[in-house]
Structure 1
Amino acid sequence: MKQKTLKYLSCITFGLSIWTLTGCQTAPVTGRSQLSLVSADQATQMGLSEFDKMKKEQKISTNPAENALVQKVGKRIAEVAGKDMPNAQWEFVVFDSKEANAFCLPGGKVGVYSGILPITQDEAGLATVLGHEIAHATAHHGDERMSHQMVAQEGQQLIGTALGNKSQTTQQLAALAYGAGSQYGVLMPFSRKQESEADHIGLVYMSKAGYDPKAALAFWQRFAEYNKQQGGGTTPGFLSDHPVDATRIADIQKWLPEAQAASNQTSK
Protein backbone atom coordinates (compact mmCIF):
# COMPACT_ATOMS: atom_id res chain seq x y z
CA MET A 1 0.00 0.00 0.00
CA LYS A 2 2.79 2.42 0.93
CA GLN A 3 4.66 1.58 -2.28
CA LYS A 4 1.57 2.33 -4.37
CA THR A 5 1.00 5.61 -2.55
CA LEU A 6 4.62 6.63 -3.11
CA LYS A 7 4.23 5.68 -6.76
CA TYR A 8 1.19 7.96 -7.13
CA LEU A 9 2.99 10.82 -5.37
CA SER A 10 6.08 10.31 -7.54
CA CYS A 11 3.99 10.50 -10.70
CA ILE A 12 2.32 13.70 -9.50
CA THR A 13 5.61 15.29 -8.45
CA PHE A 14 7.24 14.40 -11.76
CA GLY A 15 4.31 15.78 -13.74
CA LEU A 16 4.30 19.05 -11.81
CA SER A 17 8.08 19.37 -12.17
CA ILE A 18 7.86 19.07 -15.95
CA TRP A 19 4.93 21.53 -15.98
CA THR A 20 6.72 24.17 -13.91
CA LEU A 21 9.83 24.06 -16.08
CA THR A 22 7.95 25.12 -19.21
CA GLY A 23 8.47 28.85 -18.72
CA CYS A 24 10.22 31.37 -16.50
CA GLN A 25 10.99 35.07 -16.19
CA THR A 26 12.76 37.33 -13.70
CA ALA A 27 11.26 39.94 -11.38
CA PRO A 28 12.79 43.44 -11.40
CA VAL A 29 14.87 44.66 -8.41
CA THR A 30 14.75 41.32 -6.55
CA GLY A 31 15.89 39.16 -9.48
CA ARG A 32 13.59 36.32 -8.38
CA SER A 33 12.96 33.62 -10.99
CA GLN A 34 9.27 33.26 -11.77
CA LEU A 35 7.00 30.68 -13.33
CA SER A 36 5.43 31.98 -16.54
CA LEU A 37 2.80 29.95 -18.38
CA VAL A 38 0.76 32.98 -19.47
CA SER A 39 2.22 35.37 -22.03
CA ALA A 40 2.55 39.06 -21.20
CA ASP A 41 0.32 39.88 -24.17
CA GLN A 42 -2.44 37.60 -22.89
CA ALA A 43 -2.26 39.09 -19.40
CA THR A 44 -2.24 42.64 -20.78
CA GLN A 45 -5.32 42.05 -22.90
CA MET A 46 -7.16 40.62 -19.90
CA GLY A 47 -6.11 43.66 -17.84
CA LEU A 48 -7.26 46.16 -20.46
CA SER A 49 -10.59 44.41 -20.87
CA GLU A 50 -11.22 44.22 -17.12
CA PHE A 51 -10.32 47.90 -16.61
CA ASP A 52 -12.71 49.04 -19.34
CA LYS A 53 -15.43 47.01 -17.65
CA MET A 54 -14.67 48.54 -14.25
CA LYS A 55 -14.82 52.08 -15.61
CA LYS A 56 -18.30 51.38 -16.94
CA GLU A 57 -19.60 49.67 -13.81
CA GLN A 58 -18.02 51.70 -10.98
CA LYS A 59 -18.40 55.36 -10.12
CA ILE A 60 -15.39 57.46 -11.11
CA SER A 61 -14.41 60.36 -8.85
CA THR A 62 -14.98 63.88 -10.15
CA ASN A 63 -12.99 65.43 -7.29
CA PRO A 64 -10.35 67.61 -9.05
CA ALA A 65 -7.89 67.54 -6.13
CA GLU A 66 -8.00 63.74 -5.82
CA ASN A 67 -7.57 63.24 -9.55
CA ALA A 68 -4.72 65.73 -9.83
CA LEU A 69 -2.86 64.12 -6.94
CA VAL A 70 -3.18 60.58 -8.31
CA GLN A 71 -2.15 61.68 -11.80
CA LYS A 72 0.89 63.55 -10.49
CA VAL A 73 2.20 60.78 -8.25
CA GLY A 74 1.22 58.01 -10.66
CA LYS A 75 3.13 59.50 -13.56
CA ARG A 76 6.26 59.96 -11.44
CA ILE A 77 6.22 56.33 -10.33
CA ALA A 78 5.39 55.11 -13.86
CA GLU A 79 8.34 57.04 -15.27
CA VAL A 80 10.87 55.12 -13.18
CA ALA A 81 9.00 51.81 -13.48
CA GLY A 82 8.62 52.10 -17.24
CA LYS A 83 11.93 50.43 -18.06
CA ASP A 84 10.65 47.26 -16.38
CA MET A 85 7.44 47.33 -18.45
CA PRO A 86 8.25 49.30 -21.63
CA ASN A 87 5.00 48.48 -23.43
CA ALA A 88 2.73 49.61 -20.59
CA GLN A 89 -0.38 51.60 -21.41
CA TRP A 90 -0.44 53.68 -18.24
CA GLU A 91 -3.76 55.03 -17.04
CA PHE A 92 -4.70 56.27 -13.56
CA VAL A 93 -8.33 56.42 -12.45
CA VAL A 94 -9.79 57.37 -9.06
CA PHE A 95 -12.90 55.38 -8.18
CA ASP A 96 -15.36 57.04 -5.81
CA SER A 97 -15.56 54.43 -3.06
CA LYS A 98 -15.03 54.18 0.70
CA GLU A 99 -12.90 51.09 0.13
CA ALA A 100 -9.31 51.66 1.28
CA ASN A 101 -7.60 49.97 -1.62
CA ALA A 102 -5.82 50.36 -4.96
CA PHE A 103 -4.70 48.05 -7.76
CA CYS A 104 -2.69 47.87 -10.98
CA LEU A 105 -3.82 45.45 -13.67
CA PRO A 106 -1.45 43.85 -16.18
CA GLY A 107 -0.63 46.40 -18.85
CA GLY A 108 -0.45 49.42 -16.52
CA LYS A 109 -4.07 50.21 -15.69
CA VAL A 110 -4.14 51.67 -12.18
CA GLY A 111 -7.20 52.17 -10.02
CA VAL A 112 -7.23 54.06 -6.72
CA TYR A 113 -10.27 53.95 -4.43
CA SER A 114 -10.83 57.33 -2.82
CA GLY A 115 -11.22 55.65 0.58
CA ILE A 116 -7.48 55.08 0.82
CA LEU A 117 -6.53 58.75 0.33
CA PRO A 118 -7.21 59.80 3.95
CA ILE A 119 -4.73 57.08 4.99
CA THR A 120 -2.05 58.00 2.44
CA GLN A 121 -2.40 61.65 3.63
CA ASP A 122 0.19 63.11 1.24
CA GLU A 123 2.18 62.51 -1.95
CA ALA A 124 4.74 60.25 -0.30
CA GLY A 125 2.03 58.13 1.30
CA LEU A 126 0.30 57.77 -2.07
CA ALA A 127 3.66 56.99 -3.71
CA THR A 128 4.00 54.08 -1.27
CA VAL A 129 0.68 52.66 -2.42
CA LEU A 130 1.18 53.28 -6.14
CA GLY A 131 4.76 51.99 -6.02
CA HIS A 132 3.47 48.77 -4.46
CA GLU A 133 0.62 48.33 -6.94
CA ILE A 134 2.70 49.18 -10.01
CA ALA A 135 5.33 46.71 -8.78
CA HIS A 136 2.71 43.95 -9.00
CA ALA A 137 2.36 44.73 -12.70
CA THR A 138 6.05 45.17 -13.57
CA ALA A 139 6.85 41.92 -11.74
CA HIS A 140 4.05 40.19 -13.68
CA HIS A 141 2.48 38.92 -10.49
CA GLY A 142 -0.94 38.54 -12.11
CA ASP A 143 0.17 36.17 -14.85
CA GLU A 144 2.50 34.41 -12.41
CA ARG A 145 -0.42 33.75 -10.07
CA MET A 146 -2.51 32.44 -12.97
CA SER A 147 0.39 30.14 -13.85
CA HIS A 148 0.52 28.72 -10.33
CA GLN A 149 -3.23 28.15 -10.36
CA MET A 150 -2.83 26.28 -13.64
CA VAL A 151 -0.18 24.09 -12.00
CA ALA A 152 -2.48 23.45 -9.03
CA GLN A 153 -5.31 22.43 -11.36
CA GLU A 154 -2.96 20.16 -13.28
CA GLY A 155 -1.94 18.53 -10.00
CA GLN A 156 -5.59 17.94 -9.15
CA GLN A 157 -6.11 16.23 -12.50
CA LEU A 158 -3.01 14.08 -12.04
CA ILE A 159 -4.29 12.89 -8.67
CA GLY A 160 -7.63 12.01 -10.22
CA THR A 161 -5.89 9.99 -12.91
CA ALA A 162 -3.52 8.26 -10.48
CA LEU A 163 -6.35 7.26 -8.12
CA GLY A 164 -8.91 6.54 -10.82
CA ASN A 165 -9.30 2.89 -9.80
CA LYS A 166 -9.65 3.66 -6.09
CA SER A 167 -12.86 4.07 -4.09
CA GLN A 168 -14.74 7.36 -4.25
CA THR A 169 -13.94 7.98 -0.58
CA THR A 170 -10.21 7.60 -1.21
CA GLN A 171 -10.41 9.94 -4.19
CA GLN A 172 -12.33 12.55 -2.18
CA LEU A 173 -9.90 12.41 0.74
CA ALA A 174 -6.95 12.75 -1.60
CA ALA A 175 -8.59 15.70 -3.36
CA LEU A 176 -9.31 17.42 -0.04
CA ALA A 177 -5.77 16.85 1.20
CA TYR A 178 -4.30 18.15 -2.04
CA GLY A 179 -6.64 21.17 -2.07
CA ALA A 180 -5.75 22.16 1.50
CA GLY A 181 -2.06 21.51 0.92
CA SER A 182 -1.89 23.55 -2.27
CA GLN A 183 -3.97 26.41 -0.81
CA TYR A 184 -2.28 26.80 2.59
CA GLY A 185 1.08 25.26 1.76
CA VAL A 186 1.70 26.80 -1.67
CA LEU A 187 -0.76 29.40 -2.96
CA MET A 188 -1.16 31.51 0.20
CA PRO A 189 2.56 31.55 1.06
CA PHE A 190 3.23 32.42 -2.56
CA SER A 191 0.70 35.26 -2.40
CA ARG A 192 2.44 36.60 0.71
CA LYS A 193 5.75 36.39 -1.13
CA GLN A 194 4.32 38.44 -4.00
CA GLU A 195 2.95 41.08 -1.63
CA SER A 196 6.29 41.32 0.13
CA GLU A 197 8.11 41.55 -3.19
CA ALA A 198 5.77 44.35 -4.32
CA ASP A 199 6.62 46.22 -1.10
CA HIS A 200 10.33 45.79 -1.86
CA ILE A 201 10.14 46.84 -5.52
CA GLY A 202 7.68 49.65 -4.78
CA LEU A 203 10.00 51.07 -2.13
CA VAL A 204 12.78 51.33 -4.70
CA TYR A 205 10.42 52.87 -7.26
CA MET A 206 9.15 55.58 -4.91
CA SER A 207 12.71 56.41 -3.88
CA LYS A 208 13.87 56.68 -7.50
CA ALA A 209 10.86 58.92 -8.18
CA GLY A 210 12.12 61.35 -5.55
CA TYR A 211 10.00 60.38 -2.55
CA ASP A 212 11.48 59.63 0.86
CA PRO A 213 11.17 55.82 1.27
CA LYS A 214 10.91 56.28 5.06
CA ALA A 215 7.42 57.62 4.38
CA ALA A 216 6.45 54.01 3.55
CA LEU A 217 6.98 53.07 7.21
CA ALA A 218 4.63 55.82 8.36
CA PHE A 219 2.00 54.80 5.80
CA TRP A 220 2.01 51.11 6.73
CA GLN A 221 1.83 52.02 10.41
CA ARG A 222 -1.26 54.12 9.67
CA PHE A 223 -2.69 51.30 7.59
CA ALA A 224 -2.06 48.81 10.41
CA GLU A 225 -4.00 51.09 12.75
CA TYR A 226 -6.80 51.35 10.17
CA ASN A 227 -6.91 47.54 9.97
CA LYS A 228 -7.31 47.32 13.74
CA GLN A 229 -10.14 49.85 13.71
CA GLN A 230 -11.88 47.78 11.02
CA GLY A 231 -11.51 44.61 13.08
CA GLY A 232 -8.77 43.20 10.87
CA GLY A 233 -5.26 42.09 11.62
CA THR A 234 -6.36 39.08 13.68
CA THR A 235 -6.00 36.38 11.02
CA PRO A 236 -3.00 34.09 11.66
CA GLY A 237 -0.20 34.74 9.21
CA PHE A 238 -0.29 31.28 7.63
CA LEU A 239 -4.01 31.75 6.79
CA SER A 240 -3.53 35.15 5.18
CA ASP A 241 -2.64 36.03 1.60
CA HIS A 242 -0.86 39.21 2.82
CA PRO A 243 2.06 39.56 5.25
CA VAL A 244 0.99 40.53 8.76
CA ASP A 245 1.46 44.24 9.45
CA ALA A 246 4.37 43.80 11.87
CA THR A 247 6.28 41.65 9.38
CA ARG A 248 5.62 44.08 6.56
CA ILE A 249 6.89 47.06 8.57
CA ALA A 250 10.01 45.16 9.71
CA ASP A 251 10.82 44.16 6.13
CA ILE A 252 10.44 47.72 4.87
CA GLN A 253 12.80 48.89 7.59
CA LYS A 254 15.31 46.30 6.36
CA TRP A 255 15.02 47.45 2.72
CA LEU A 256 15.35 51.18 3.43
CA PRO A 257 19.15 51.38 2.87
CA GLU A 258 18.78 49.74 -0.56
CA ALA A 259 15.97 52.13 -1.52
CA GLN A 260 17.92 55.17 -0.34
CA ALA A 261 20.98 54.00 -2.28
CA ALA A 262 18.82 53.64 -5.42
CA SER A 263 17.68 57.23 -4.97
CA ASN A 264 21.28 58.45 -4.67
CA GLN A 265 22.29 56.51 -7.77
CA THR A 266 19.40 58.01 -9.73
CA SER A 267 20.42 61.51 -8.65
CA LYS A 268 23.97 60.93 -9.86
Structure 2
Amino acid sequence: MCTACLSRRRFLQGAVLAAPLATAGCDLPILVSEAEAAEMGREAWAAILQRTPVSNAEGEVAPVRRAAAKLLAAGGHDAREWEVAVFATDTVNAFALPGRKIGIHRGMLRLAGAEDRLAAVIGHEIGHIEAAHSRERMSAQAAGNALVQLVRWLLNMGQIEFAAEIAGALGVGLEFGVLRPYGRGQEEEADILGLGLMRRAGYRPEAALELWQRMDARGGRGPEFLSTHPAPQSRIRTLQEAIAAQA
Protein backbone atom coordinates (compact mmCIF):
# COMPACT_ATOMS: atom_id res chain seq x y z
CA MET A 1 0.00 0.00 0.00
CA CYS A 2 1.38 3.41 -0.94
CA THR A 3 2.24 5.93 1.77
CA ALA A 4 -0.11 8.52 0.27
CA CYS A 5 -3.07 6.11 0.41
CA LEU A 6 -2.26 5.17 3.99
CA SER A 7 -2.02 8.83 5.03
CA ARG A 8 -5.27 9.59 3.27
CA ARG A 9 -7.08 6.76 5.03
CA ARG A 10 -5.77 7.75 8.45
CA PHE A 11 -6.73 11.38 7.84
CA LEU A 12 -10.25 10.40 6.80
CA GLN A 13 -10.66 8.09 9.80
CA GLY A 14 -9.46 10.83 12.10
CA ALA A 15 -11.87 13.29 10.54
CA VAL A 16 -14.85 11.01 11.05
CA LEU A 17 -13.91 10.43 14.69
CA ALA A 18 -13.15 14.08 15.36
CA ALA A 19 -16.47 15.48 14.15
CA PRO A 20 -18.65 14.02 16.93
CA LEU A 21 -16.03 14.94 19.54
CA ALA A 22 -15.92 18.51 18.30
CA THR A 23 -19.67 18.98 18.70
CA ALA A 24 -20.70 16.47 21.38
CA GLY A 25 -22.29 17.98 24.45
CA CYS A 26 -23.01 21.28 22.74
CA ASP A 27 -26.53 22.66 22.90
CA LEU A 28 -27.25 23.73 19.35
CA PRO A 29 -29.03 27.09 19.19
CA ILE A 30 -32.51 27.41 17.69
CA LEU A 31 -31.80 29.01 14.33
CA VAL A 32 -35.34 28.78 12.94
CA SER A 33 -38.15 30.99 14.28
CA GLU A 34 -41.63 29.71 15.13
CA ALA A 35 -43.06 31.65 12.18
CA GLU A 36 -40.49 30.18 9.77
CA ALA A 37 -41.10 26.65 11.05
CA ALA A 38 -44.88 27.10 10.78
CA GLU A 39 -44.58 28.32 7.20
CA MET A 40 -42.38 25.36 6.26
CA GLY A 41 -44.84 23.04 7.99
CA ARG A 42 -47.75 24.45 6.01
CA GLU A 43 -45.83 24.14 2.75
CA ALA A 44 -44.91 20.53 3.53
CA TRP A 45 -48.54 19.76 4.46
CA ALA A 46 -49.80 21.17 1.16
CA ALA A 47 -47.28 19.05 -0.75
CA ILE A 48 -48.27 15.91 1.17
CA LEU A 49 -51.96 16.52 0.46
CA GLN A 50 -51.22 16.86 -3.24
CA ARG A 51 -49.50 13.49 -3.57
CA THR A 52 -51.18 11.38 -0.87
CA PRO A 53 -54.84 10.28 -0.88
CA VAL A 54 -56.89 11.29 2.16
CA SER A 55 -59.44 9.00 3.78
CA ASN A 56 -62.98 10.29 4.33
CA ALA A 57 -64.20 7.07 5.95
CA GLU A 58 -66.04 7.99 9.14
CA GLY A 59 -64.74 4.90 10.94
CA GLU A 60 -61.17 6.04 10.35
CA VAL A 61 -61.48 9.81 10.62
CA ALA A 62 -63.75 10.03 13.68
CA PRO A 63 -61.49 8.27 16.25
CA VAL A 64 -58.44 10.18 15.03
CA ARG A 65 -60.14 13.57 15.30
CA ARG A 66 -61.71 12.68 18.64
CA ALA A 67 -58.40 11.58 20.16
CA ALA A 68 -56.58 14.58 18.71
CA ALA A 69 -59.17 17.01 20.09
CA LYS A 70 -58.97 15.53 23.59
CA LEU A 71 -55.16 15.49 23.62
CA LEU A 72 -54.86 19.00 22.23
CA ALA A 73 -57.30 20.29 24.84
CA ALA A 74 -55.27 18.52 27.54
CA GLY A 75 -52.23 20.44 26.29
CA GLY A 76 -54.05 23.78 26.35
CA HIS A 77 -54.47 23.99 22.57
CA ASP A 78 -57.59 24.91 20.63
CA ALA A 79 -58.32 21.86 18.48
CA ARG A 80 -60.32 24.02 16.07
CA GLU A 81 -57.07 25.67 14.99
CA TRP A 82 -55.48 22.34 14.02
CA GLU A 83 -55.91 20.36 10.81
CA VAL A 84 -56.02 16.57 11.22
CA ALA A 85 -56.03 14.11 8.33
CA VAL A 86 -56.00 10.33 7.85
CA PHE A 87 -53.96 9.33 4.82
CA ALA A 88 -55.28 6.35 2.88
CA THR A 89 -52.01 4.42 2.67
CA ASP A 90 -50.80 1.27 4.41
CA THR A 91 -47.69 3.05 5.71
CA VAL A 92 -47.25 2.64 9.47
CA ASN A 93 -46.51 6.27 10.18
CA ALA A 94 -47.80 9.42 11.88
CA PHE A 95 -46.47 12.95 12.13
CA ALA A 96 -47.18 16.44 13.35
CA LEU A 97 -45.93 19.56 11.61
CA PRO A 98 -45.39 23.14 12.77
CA GLY A 99 -48.36 25.16 11.61
CA ARG A 100 -50.80 22.93 13.54
CA LYS A 101 -51.00 19.86 11.30
CA ILE A 102 -51.40 16.22 12.35
CA GLY A 103 -51.31 13.31 9.92
CA ILE A 104 -52.04 9.63 10.61
CA HIS A 105 -51.55 6.97 7.96
CA ARG A 106 -54.13 4.19 7.72
CA GLY A 107 -51.42 1.62 8.41
CA MET A 108 -50.70 3.20 11.80
CA LEU A 109 -54.41 3.41 12.56
CA ARG A 110 -54.80 -0.31 11.92
CA LEU A 111 -51.71 -1.18 13.93
CA ALA A 112 -52.99 0.80 16.92
CA GLY A 113 -56.37 -0.93 16.71
CA ALA A 114 -57.96 0.99 19.60
CA GLU A 115 -58.46 4.65 20.45
CA ASP A 116 -56.27 4.67 23.56
CA ARG A 117 -53.34 3.20 21.61
CA LEU A 118 -54.06 5.70 18.84
CA ALA A 119 -53.93 8.43 21.51
CA ALA A 120 -50.40 7.26 22.36
CA VAL A 121 -49.37 7.91 18.76
CA ILE A 122 -51.03 11.32 18.53
CA GLY A 123 -49.87 12.38 22.00
CA HIS A 124 -46.31 11.56 21.01
CA GLU A 125 -46.59 13.66 17.85
CA ILE A 126 -48.09 16.62 19.73
CA GLY A 127 -45.21 16.24 22.19
CA HIS A 128 -42.77 16.86 19.33
CA ILE A 129 -44.51 20.15 18.54
CA GLU A 130 -44.74 21.26 22.18
CA ALA A 131 -41.01 20.64 22.64
CA ALA A 132 -40.15 22.52 19.41
CA HIS A 133 -38.40 19.43 18.06
CA SER A 134 -39.11 20.39 14.45
CA ARG A 135 -37.26 23.68 14.95
CA GLU A 136 -34.43 21.86 16.72
CA ARG A 137 -34.06 19.41 13.83
CA MET A 138 -34.10 22.21 11.27
CA SER A 139 -31.52 24.15 13.29
CA ALA A 140 -29.29 21.10 13.79
CA GLN A 141 -29.33 20.35 10.08
CA ALA A 142 -28.51 23.96 9.23
CA ALA A 143 -25.66 24.02 11.76
CA GLY A 144 -24.29 20.71 10.48
CA ASN A 145 -24.34 21.85 6.87
CA ALA A 146 -22.67 25.12 7.78
CA LEU A 147 -19.88 23.34 9.69
CA VAL A 148 -19.12 20.97 6.82
CA GLN A 149 -18.98 23.89 4.37
CA LEU A 150 -16.65 25.79 6.70
CA VAL A 151 -14.31 22.80 7.03
CA ARG A 152 -14.30 22.35 3.24
CA TRP A 153 -13.35 26.02 2.78
CA LEU A 154 -10.58 25.88 5.40
CA LEU A 155 -9.13 22.72 3.88
CA ASN A 156 -9.15 24.21 0.40
CA MET A 157 -7.53 27.41 1.66
CA GLY A 158 -4.74 25.25 3.09
CA GLN A 159 -4.45 23.39 -0.23
CA ILE A 160 -4.81 20.06 1.56
CA GLU A 161 -5.17 17.08 -0.77
CA PHE A 162 -8.55 15.26 -0.69
CA ALA A 163 -10.26 18.30 0.87
CA ALA A 164 -13.67 17.39 -0.56
CA GLU A 165 -13.44 13.79 0.71
CA ILE A 166 -12.42 14.93 4.18
CA ALA A 167 -15.35 17.35 4.32
CA GLY A 168 -17.63 14.52 3.25
CA ALA A 169 -16.26 12.29 6.00
CA LEU A 170 -16.95 15.03 8.53
CA GLY A 171 -20.51 15.10 7.27
CA VAL A 172 -20.81 11.39 8.06
CA GLY A 173 -19.41 12.05 11.52
CA LEU A 174 -21.98 14.77 12.15
CA GLU A 175 -24.84 12.59 10.96
CA PHE A 176 -24.08 9.56 13.10
CA GLY A 177 -22.34 11.32 15.99
CA VAL A 178 -24.69 14.25 16.55
CA LEU A 179 -27.88 14.43 14.52
CA ARG A 180 -29.08 10.84 14.90
CA PRO A 181 -28.49 10.49 18.67
CA TYR A 182 -30.02 13.93 19.11
CA GLY A 183 -33.08 12.60 17.28
CA ARG A 184 -33.35 9.61 19.62
CA GLY A 185 -33.40 11.98 22.57
CA GLN A 186 -36.20 13.93 20.95
CA GLU A 187 -38.20 10.75 20.46
CA GLU A 188 -37.87 9.81 24.12
CA GLU A 189 -38.85 13.31 25.25
CA ALA A 190 -41.92 13.23 23.00
CA ASP A 191 -42.88 9.86 24.51
CA ILE A 192 -42.80 11.33 28.03
CA LEU A 193 -44.75 14.43 27.01
CA GLY A 194 -47.26 12.23 25.22
CA LEU A 195 -47.83 10.18 28.37
CA GLY A 196 -48.69 13.35 30.29
CA LEU A 197 -51.17 14.39 27.62
CA MET A 198 -52.77 10.93 27.69
CA ARG A 199 -53.25 11.07 31.45
CA ARG A 200 -54.82 14.52 31.36
CA ALA A 201 -57.05 13.54 28.43
CA GLY A 202 -58.37 10.47 30.28
CA TYR A 203 -56.54 7.79 28.30
CA ARG A 204 -54.64 4.86 29.83
CA PRO A 205 -50.88 5.57 29.74
CA GLU A 206 -50.32 1.80 29.60
CA ALA A 207 -51.77 1.88 26.09
CA ALA A 208 -48.45 3.39 24.96
CA LEU A 209 -46.72 0.19 26.10
CA GLU A 210 -49.24 -1.90 24.17
CA LEU A 211 -48.64 0.18 21.06
CA TRP A 212 -44.90 -0.40 21.13
CA GLN A 213 -45.32 -4.08 21.93
CA ARG A 214 -47.35 -4.28 18.73
CA MET A 215 -44.67 -2.32 16.90
CA ASP A 216 -42.01 -4.69 18.23
CA ALA A 217 -44.01 -7.74 17.10
CA ARG A 218 -44.23 -6.21 13.63
CA GLY A 219 -40.41 -6.31 13.31
CA GLY A 220 -38.48 -5.09 10.28
CA ARG A 221 -36.11 -2.67 12.06
CA GLY A 222 -32.43 -1.95 11.61
CA PRO A 223 -29.90 -1.54 14.45
CA GLU A 224 -30.92 1.05 17.05
CA PHE A 225 -27.69 3.05 16.77
CA LEU A 226 -28.42 3.74 13.09
CA SER A 227 -31.92 5.05 13.73
CA THR A 228 -33.33 8.30 15.06
CA HIS A 229 -36.03 6.22 16.79
CA PRO A 230 -35.22 4.11 19.84
CA ALA A 231 -35.72 0.37 19.34
CA PRO A 232 -39.16 -0.77 20.58
CA GLN A 233 -37.75 -2.71 23.57
CA SER A 234 -35.67 0.30 24.63
CA ARG A 235 -38.72 2.52 24.20
CA ILE A 236 -40.91 0.17 26.24
CA ARG A 237 -38.45 0.25 29.15
CA THR A 238 -38.35 4.05 29.09
CA LEU A 239 -42.15 4.24 29.00
CA GLN A 240 -42.46 1.78 31.89
CA GLU A 241 -40.17 3.91 34.02
CA ALA A 242 -42.05 7.08 33.09
CA ILE A 243 -45.45 5.55 33.83
CA ALA A 244 -44.23 4.41 37.25
CA ALA A 245 -42.78 7.86 37.95
CA GLN A 246 -45.98 9.66 36.95
CA ALA A 247 -48.27 7.33 38.89
Q: Deviations over 1:118-160 (max 9, x none)?
A: 2111111000000011111111111110101111111112212
Distance (Å, rounded) in 2 between the aligned partners of 1:34 and 1:78: 28
- State the secondary structure of the residue aligned to 1:169: coil
Distance (Å, rounded) in 2 between the aligned partners of 1:80 and 1:38: 27
In the other structure, the counterpart of 2:72 is: 78
In the other structure, the counterpart of 1:57 is: 51
1:243 aligns with 2:230: yes
Greater RCO structure (CA 8 Å; 6+ sep)? 2
1:130 aligns with 2:122: yes
AA matched with 2:238: D
1:146 aligns with 2:138: yes
1:214 aligns with 2:206: yes
Runs of 5+ unmatched residues, structure 1: 21-32, 261-268
The within-5 A match list for 1:19-38 is 35-38=29-32
Q: TM-score, normalised by structure 2?
A: 0.84
Report the Cα offset of residue 168 of structure 1: 5.8
- State the secondary structure of the residue aligned to 2:89: coil
Report the identity percentage: 36
Runs of 5+ unmatched residues, structure 2: 1-10
AA matched with 1:89: E
The within-5 A match list for 1:187-198 is 187-198=179-190
1:111 aligns with 2:103: yes
- Contact between 2:149 and 2:167, CA under 8 Å: does it hold in 1? no
Choose the corresponding residue for 2:171, options 166, 179, 197: 179
- Closer, same or farther: CA 87–113 of 1 in aligned 2, 3 Å: closer
In the other structure, the counterpart of 1:205 is: 197
Distance (Å, rounded) in 1 between the aligned partners of 2:51 and 2:148: 35
Q: TM-score, normalised by structure 1?
A: 0.78
Q: Deviations over 1:165-201 (max 9, x none)?
A: 3446331342133111101100111111111111111
Distance (Å, rounded) in 2 between the aligned partners of 1:51 and 1:131: 19
- Contact between 1:220 and 1:245, CA under 8 Å: does it hold in 2? yes
Distance (Å, rounded) in 2 between the aligned partners of 1:213 and 1:34: 32
AA matched with 1:196: E
Instruction: Give the root-mean-square deviation of aligned CA atoms.
Output: 2.5
